[in-house]
Structure 1
């Protein structure tokens, strides 16, 4: 994946996350300079950002840090193989107490 392709792919992922979380009544979302921050009702944050040198998307949450790489058109955790949107839904439900559907 070229750098341009990577940036386009990540921009689409961040927009999809932002749109899904914006539908929430209790979660706040902010996308600035390629860093997406989801603020939970208790003030904790889930942060999603791009790591261009590694061609990865990184997620930081109370439960830990996760690295996702594009494999066969899906973003997968480099350790567990879990899919990005499924992982985010689980992280946000656990940390923020709300179910988010990424459709």
Structure 2
């Protein structure tokens, strides 16, 4: 009887430790590109001409910056979630020189 109680207690404790991944909305990670006025202004002050873009996603009918999406829905970089894996790959590309329309196949 004591074993049964201990087993049930252990099961409840382990069940409480499981972390659920945030529910992923159906989102197009390509989003749309908008001019990042802040970064563009800073670069122009340094003498670099051109516009710097950032990626904006539509998540549940609300606009969300791509970096905010990654922070909110993909907090763990070791995730196996396919959406997060693609998001991290896109983020690496965007972090180099700003958001671009031209992404590798599969993203």
TM-score between both structures, scaled by the size of structure 1: 0.26
Q: Which has the higher strand share?
A: 1
* Greater RCO structure (CA 8 Å; 6+ sep): 2
- Structure showing greater Rg: 2
Q: Which has the higher helix share?
A: 2
TM-score between both structures, scaled by the size of structure 2: 0.26
